[in-house]
Chains A and B, each alone.
Chain A
């Protein structure tokens, strides 16, 4: 566990994650108060990464549950393996016969079978899914419930019970309580509003796009091979793109992809043509691409106006 906010920042940094004070405070509180964190924000700002890095920083195991429409208990918590149980009983028919040897009457036979109950209804036939795994793990765990907004409202209600008590009831076996309380991180893209009950139990963290300096620092950390100049230019372009009304604004992960792609192409500095060619790494919709190109043209024009006509080509103007 963390002992202070500074420690969170430090340990995250050693895992190559730049946590702002705001993020660090929430993470620290979550670990101290043993409360789940609900992370919201636009796509590609490092919500999922936060959980992964948290696990690494604390040296916990990471258990991940990806949510989708139609996700149910069977896929999230546990499944009872009827088939295996059936197979066992069939194979062991003879053994069961031996157990029943000497039983007088039906009632005694049933009693004898009943005394063997725990063989038939044991952990052996439970197929643990992520949630059960997280609870029963011996080692401390970070549980990541990704894109909770994609799951149905019923599943959310079911999660509530788990998040408040950290125990689950399996009808065949009984109640299983958590060996240790996992650190839970829920992420949401805001496809729908979460219920108040769930929100009340969580600490809320809203991660927005990073500012210029932060983004530069992230690139430096994650893609150290990129030249300073290139990183500067890329961040400039991406930041100006985010101001547009795009269907999907480029996130940090897109910026990193772009920088990496450009470094791979051995590019030292951006120019108009190159931007147009590689624009699809950061902008993912047809309409957006058109808008982005429009904006970049404006951007160049603005820079040109500011600098006068001294710059020789577009190449220098994108800086």
Chain B
């Protein structure tokens, strides 16, 4: 059993779950205590000792099912399928099996081990034999779909499937000659036929299952990686869904990093007043030192997000990102603009993400069908909201800077930059197109601390990392 547990731990590791040496030892001790008789208890024991993150539970459940019931379950299912095909009840089937047994004895022919177990429906023995064969052909090395056929053939050869086929063929011929009732004869023939099919089926499914075991995680990861490199512009509905999840995860990561960083400088300067006060009980001898707590600098963020038609898809994600950010910090003010600018902070605070995005993009707050006019939007921001900026505010502008040849009013950005701590511009357009046509990026860029191209999730990741590290 210990061997199997070690192998299972390895399997978990291959699928990205970290299982330490100590944990697999715990698992062994635990499984020794609860025993194997009861499947659920065994499962709970392994779950409690090997899986320490709620997020990893689904992987565990899937692998546990694949690994610990996999082959046995397949064999059982195959047996059941045969029984169903013959349309017999459990009792009838048992009786029928006895008849088959008797018939085999009468034939007096020496059958191979596998054929005997197969025909007497002994799933335990069969499982053991198939496992041994699998070990001999090193089935655990399987990785790719294209290897399935090769391994299926190798396993069949190792098992001696050809011999079983031959034996069953012989048996059928003999049954043909036997003098028993027509109905029973037909049943027996069908049984043999189906049994053989079932065995082939088992081998095939077992190989596939082994391959799937090693594939669960890598598949998902590959997909996310690809998604990360895809531009915001070309996404299907389903991919949008995936992307939303990724952004949520990103926000979670941001949260973790922030909480760790916030802790580091907890103590400020030495606080004489409080030290004296709290040491009065010791006669004024300063046994306990007191420090003032450094005031936590709560990040203040103001976000201006372009929601014009040209950046529609991108802005959806940017807004999703804004929403996550607003969830994270208490002092985030969010604005959307096309030709005019409008504040959406309150809407984002009160509604859930999907609703909030809908609200921002629907046109209740500002007219989203007009032509973008960055100059005008910035000017009205400076006119109405410049007072909300101070030396602790980070301003983030999300937009492509395509101004439709309107007045750029880049002095507004200079004004904003002077008031704020820093100004960051994230542009969903490719860097090479900046400054061409009606793009005013070249004019705006000098006023910003950071200008980044942000077309896909990986770039967003990078930007976030840089923002947080500062």
Quote the shortest CB–CB distance from B245 to chain A (angstroms).
14
Quote the shortest CB–CB distance from B389 to chain A (angstroms).
28
Q: Please tell me if the beta carbons of B52 and A204 are within 8 angstroms of each other in the complex.
A: yes
Q: B23: which A residues are within 8 A, CB to CB? A: 200
A116 sits at the interface (CB 8 A) = no
B51 sits at the interface (CB 8 A) = yes
Q: A202: which B residues are within 8 A, CB to CB? A: 52
A196, A201, A204 — most chain B CB neighbours (10 Å): A204
B20, B41, B256, B283 — most chain A CB neighbours (10 Å): B41
Docked Cα-Cα span, A37 to B266, in Å, equals 30
Quote the shortest CB–CB distance from B257 to chain A (angstroms).
11
Docked Cα-Cα span, A153 to B256, in Å, equals 12
Which residue of chain B is the closest to A196 with respect to CB atoms?
A: B18
Q: B470: which A residues are within 8 A, CB to CB? A: none
Q: Please tell me if the beta carbons of B48 and A287 are within 8 angstroms of each other in the complex.
A: no
B469 sits at the interface (CB 8 A) = no
Bitwise, A195-222 to B at CB < 8 A (1) or not (0) is 0100111111110000000000000000
Q: A205: which B residues are within 8 A, CB to CB? A: 48
A61 sits at the interface (CB 8 A) = no
Q: Please tell me if the beta carbons of A29 and B40 are within 8 angstroms of each other in the complex.
A: no
- Interface size of A in residues (CB-CB distance below 8 Å): 37
B54 sits at the interface (CB 8 A) = yes
Q: Please tell me if the beta carbons of A192 and B259 are within 8 angstroms of each other in the complex.
A: yes
Interface of chain A, main secondary structure: helix
B359 sits at the interface (CB 8 A) = no
Bitwise, B270-292 to A at CB < 8 A (1) or not (0) is 00000000000111010110000
A170 sits at the interface (CB 8 A) = no
Docked Cα-Cα span, A26 to B40, in Å, equals 12
Q: Please tell me if the beta carbons of A200 and B22 are within 8 angstroms of each other in the complex.
A: yes
Interface of chain B, main secondary structure: helix
A292 sits at the interface (CB 8 A) = no
B238 sits at the interface (CB 8 A) = no
Bitwise, A1-44 to B at CB < 8 A (1) or not (0) is 00001000000000000000110011011001101011011000
Bitwise, B22-36 to A at CB < 8 A (1) or not (0) is 110010011001100
Q: A33: which B residues are within 8 A, CB to CB? A: 26, 29-30, 33
Q: Please tell me if the beta carbons of A83 and B282 are within 8 angstroms of each other in the complex.
A: yes
Which among A28, A190, A201, A204 is the interface contact of B51 at CB below 8 angstroms? A204
Which among A192, A194, A204 is the interface contact of B48 at CB below 8 angstroms? A204
Quote the shortest CB–CB distance from A202 to chain B (angstroms).
7
B350 sits at the interface (CB 8 A) = yes
Docked Cα-Cα span, A41 to B45, in Å, equals 18
Q: A21-B41, A152-B266 are in contact. List 18 more A-B contacts (CB 8 A).
A: A5-B34, A21-B40, A25-B34, A28-B34, A29-B49, A82-B287, A83-B281, A83-B282, A86-B282, A153-B263, A200-B23, A200-B52, A203-B30, A203-B48, A204-B53, A287-B350, A287-B352, A291-B352
16 contacts between A and B (CB under 8 A): A21-B40, A25-B45, A29-B33, A29-B45, A29-B49, A33-B26, A38-B52, A82-B287, A86-B285, A152-B263, A192-B259, A200-B22, A200-B23, A204-B48, A204-B53, A206-B54
Identify the B interface with A (CB < 8 A).
18, 20, 22-23, 26, 29-30, 33-34, 40-41, 44-45, 47-49, 51-54, 57, 256, 259-260, 263, 266, 281-283, 285, 287-288, 350-352
Identify the A interface with B (CB < 8 A).
5, 21-22, 25-26, 28-29, 32-33, 35, 37-38, 40-41, 70, 82-83, 86, 152-154, 190, 192-194, 196, 199-206, 245, 287, 291
